[in-house]
């Protein structure tokens, strides 16, 4: 009887060990599967973000190359400067392949390079004002998010008119949010306008959705004084390594 008791006891212990081992192996395989799935999802999201971002470049490149081809005969010096600035922009873009967020100061630096080209294209027809609150300079911002918005403002608010037009870029921190705005003094949105966004705005919406989900807001509205205002409302987060405080403030 004692041997039978010991046998049954050992058999129970054996099955407990087998069950525990199988359970552990199943859990390990499950976690590995989850990890692979998360990695694949991250890679897919990265690829989609890259594809969306690349939709923003062709129109600008076409306009710039077209302007250069015209200026080569009319003003070779300006054409040469435009080629140099375009080279700078392409270099910066290639250096940051895969980057989704940068310091706002870096985003503004890229925007300024872009605006140098547009000022040469439009000469005295384009006026740009920057109203950037200092505490926003170290904030995280989507890379190349402002350029397509400014390009859209120039394309629709400045290019169609023969007289001087202006674009204003603003950045402030308000209630723990990063507020970015691009405003032009063009015709704004017509009441009978098709509600469908253009490629630039659509791609911007898609990028923000991928980066922030429901934690962002993009709004287009007509300004009271005329023109279009595009507002981005994003989480205010500092880039790693910055010690500035997360505080609100007015525009400078």
Cβ atoms of 232 and 181 within 8 Å: the answer is: yes
User: What is the pTM assigned to this prediction?
Assistant: 0.71
Average pLDDT, 10 consecutive residues per value, the chain (252 residues): 50 60 65 60 52 57 83 87 86 76 93 91 90 96 90 88 93 96 90 62 84 93 91 93 44 42
Cβ atoms of 143 and 99 within 8 Å: the answer is: yes
Strand ranges inside the chain, DSSP E: 101-103, 126-132, 140-142, 165-174, 177-184, 217-222, 228-235
Q: Tell me the sheet residues that pair with 170.
A: 131, 181
The closest of 153, 119, 140, 104 to 212, measured between CA atoms, is: 140
Q: In this predicted structure, what is the pLDDT of residue 136?
A: 97
Percent with pLDDT over 70 in the chain: 68
Give the CATH fold of the 55-235 domain. Answer: Heat Shock Protein 90 (3.30.565)
Q: In this predicted structure, what is the pLDDT of residue 5?
A: 47
Mode of pairing for the β-strands spanning 165-174 and 126-132: parallel
Percent with pLDDT over 90 in the chain: 31
- pLDDT tens string 142-154: 988 998 899 889 9
Q: In this predicted structure, what is the pLDDT of residue 192?
A: 64
Rounded Cα distance, 20 and 93, in Å: 53
Measured over the CA atoms of residue 150, residue 156, residue 160 and residue 166, the dihedral's sign is negative
């Amino acid at each position: 009887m004692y041997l039978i008791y010991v046998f049954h006891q050992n058999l129970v212990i054996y099955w407990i060990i087998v069950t525990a081992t199988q359970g552990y192996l199943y859990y390990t395989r499950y976690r590995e599967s989850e990890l692979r799935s998360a990695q694949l999802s991250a890679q897919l999201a990265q690829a989609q973000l890259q594809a969306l971002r690349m939709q923003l470049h062709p129109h600008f490149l076409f306009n710039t190359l077209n302007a250069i081809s015209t200026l080569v005969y009319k003003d070779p010096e300006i054409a040469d400067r435009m080629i140099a600035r375009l080279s700078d922009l392409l270099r910066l873009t290639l250096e940051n392949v895969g980057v989704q967020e940068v310091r706002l100061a870096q985003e503004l630096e890229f925007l300024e390079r872009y605006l140098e080209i547009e000022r040469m294209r439009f000469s005295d027809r384009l006026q740009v004002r920057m109203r950037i609150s200092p505490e926003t300079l170290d904030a995280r911002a989507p890379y190349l998010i402002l350029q397509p918005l400014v390009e859209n403002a120039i394309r629709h608010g400045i290019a169609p008119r023969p007289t001087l037009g202006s674009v204003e870029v603003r950045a402030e921190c308000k209630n723990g949010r990063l507020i970015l705005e691009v405003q032009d003094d063009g015709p704004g949105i017509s009441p009978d306008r098709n509600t469908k966004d253009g490629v630039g705005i659509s791609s911007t919406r898609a990028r923000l959705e991928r980066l922030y989900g429901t934690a962002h807001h993009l709004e287009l509205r007509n300004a009271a004084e005329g023109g279009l205002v595009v507002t981005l409302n994003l989480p205010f987060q500092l880039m790693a390594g910055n010690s500035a405080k997360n505080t609100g403030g007015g525009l400078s």
